[in-house]
Copies of this chain bind each other. A is one copy, B any other.
Amino acid sequence: MSLIVQKYGGTSVGSIERIQAVAARVAQSHKQGDQVVVAVSAMSGETNRLIGLAKEIEPQPAAREMDVLVSTGEQVTIALLCMALHKIGIDAKSYTGSQVRILTDNSHGKARIKEIDGHKMQDDLDAGRVVVVAGFQGSDENGNITTLGRGGSDTTAVALAAALNADECQIYTDVDGVYTTDPRVVSTAQRLEKITFEEMLEMASQGSKVLQIRSVEFAGKYKVPLRVKSSFEDGPGTLISLEEDDLMEKAVVSGIAFNRDEAKLTIRGIPDQPGVAYKVLGAISDANIEIDVIVQNVAKDNSATITFTVHRNDLSAAHKLLNQIAKDLGAIEVEADDAIAKVSIVGVGMRSHAGVAAKMFEVLAAENINIQLITTSEIKIAVVVEERYLELAVRALHTGFGLDAPD
């Protein structure tokens, strides 16, 4: 007998029919003898409907009352899912975040979970019940309702799994697992059986949006095995696990991630002296603009060049700031370019294999793709290329690292 936490998102519970399909899926696990805790989101569209009501009154409503309002969305789902489970003969009981209780800090709208009391849930499970918990919400020390922010239902599921020492946390979504790359770009992309938390983090932060980054971090921290599955079809999904076992049979590179939401800024000819990187990048950060890739080089004349990328939406603000900074520092010029894309190869296997970077550059060179920037981490190599080469680069790397599905 295993203890499984399952999470179903808004699309999976988007209608009465879909809620009934979720109930059938939960019943299947329950009948296999598993103890099942289910975390659910609001029915798709409901959260936006509630936010719409609030905005009719006030564009910036008080965060505390916003949480009282939107938390009703998941509360509706837990009740309906329990009814659907009862209907097919499964004993089930619902809990709001406050009822569990999921104790959070008091940052309304973006609260963090501090503690979960698993006793009531464990009692229900031991009595043969399915436990259905409202995702995305909790309450603070004073009993105020809080929400974890958008996508927080994944985090709820992982936190429940950690609190109950579950054997697995299954995230049901509209894809049937994590792929070697986006199948819309590379038709030969394959579902991964397994991926490590670190790889998943790199894949997610590089733009493969299957799971909320925060929930993956959380799962890694609390050592909760995570599995991504499809709400709509059967299948094993992808297991995100701690262990790097079976790695010998595994490819050196697990997946190709990419991101076309970034833009690149370069400031050239800065007199090189200690602190210039801080002067440049500190000012950008202070304006609440997130910076992704950063590369700095020093030219022969000892002047420095700093290149970095920001989200495309922030480009014009960052560009303006950078022009001012260039003036202050006596830099020679500033360049901005939004026709770029970032492509990354990710894999824990590259730790123990030399020459992975060289192989990557070789593959891109063979396609005549010029590399503008390179950054590396222990399990990732990312390059920035012209945006028009993005698909070509991804396909070439996918083939080059042996990730294509067999015919």
Minimum Cβ distance to chain B for residue A133 (Å): 12
CA distance A16 to B62 in the complex (A): 16
Say whether A94 faces chain B, with CB atoms less than 8 Å apart: yes
- Residues of chain B within 8 A of A294, CB atoms compared: none
Say whether A54 contacts B83, CB under 8 Å: yes
Say whether A80 contacts B57, CB under 8 Å: yes
Say whether A83 contacts B99, CB under 8 Å: no
Q: Write out, one digit per residue, whether chain A residues 41-80 have a CB within 8 A of any chain B CB (1) or not (0).
A: 0000000001001101110011011101101100110111
Say whether A40 faces chain B, with CB atoms less than 8 Å apart: no
Say whether A155 faces chain B, with CB atoms less than 8 Å apart: no
Say whether A56 contacts B16, CB under 8 Å: yes
- Residues of chain B within 8 A of A83, CB atoms compared: 54, 57-58, 61-62, 65-66
Say whether B76 contacts A61, CB under 8 Å: no
CB-CB under 8 A for A80 and B53, given A94-B68, A96-B68, A98-B98 = yes
- Residues of chain B within 8 A of A61, CB atoms compared: 83, 86
Which of B19, B53, B64 is the one whose CB lies under 8 Å from A76?
B53
- Residues of chain B within 8 A of A20, CB atoms compared: 57
- Residues of chain B within 8 A of A71, CB atoms compared: 75
- Residues of chain B within 8 A of A58, CB atoms compared: 83-84, 86-87
* Cβ-closest chain B residue relative to A69: B79
CA distance A57 to B72 in the complex (A): 19
For A, the interface residue count at a CB cutoff of 8 angstroms equals 36
Minimum Cβ distance to chain B for residue A343 (Å): 45
CA distance A57 to B57 in the complex (A): 33
- Residues of chain B within 8 A of A57, CB atoms compared: 16, 19-20, 80, 83-84, 87
CA distance A193 to B98 in the complex (A): 45
- Residues of chain B within 8 A of A72, CB atoms compared: 72, 75-76
Say whether B65 contacts A82, CB under 8 Å: yes
Say whether A94 contacts B65, CB under 8 Å: yes
CA distance A170 to B82 in the complex (A): 38
A50, A72, A98, most chain B CB atoms within 10 A:
A72
Say whether A33 faces chain B, with CB atoms less than 8 Å apart: no
Say whether A143 faces chain B, with CB atoms less than 8 Å apart: yes
CA distance A56 to B87 in the complex (A): 11
Minimum Cβ distance to chain B for residue A85 (Å): 9
- Residues of chain B within 8 A of A143, CB atoms compared: 99
CA distance A41 to B53 in the complex (A): 16
* Cβ-closest chain B residue relative to A144: B99
Q: Write out, one digit per residue, whether chain A residues 229-264 have a CB within 8 A of any chain B CB (1) or not (0).
A: 000000000000000000000000000000000000
15 additional contacts, CB 8 Å, given A57-B84, A65-B79?
A16-B53, A19-B57, A53-B80, A54-B83, A57-B83, A58-B83, A58-B87, A61-B83, A65-B86, A66-B79, A68-B82, A69-B76, A71-B75, A72-B76, A99-B145
Q: Which residues does A use to contact B, with CB under 8 Å?
A: 16, 19-20, 50, 53-54, 56-58, 61-62, 64-66, 68-69, 71-72, 75-76, 78-80, 82-84, 86-87, 93-94, 96, 98-99, 143-145
**Which 4 residue pairs across A and B have the least CB separation, nearest first?**
A69-B79, A72-B72, A68-B79, A65-B79
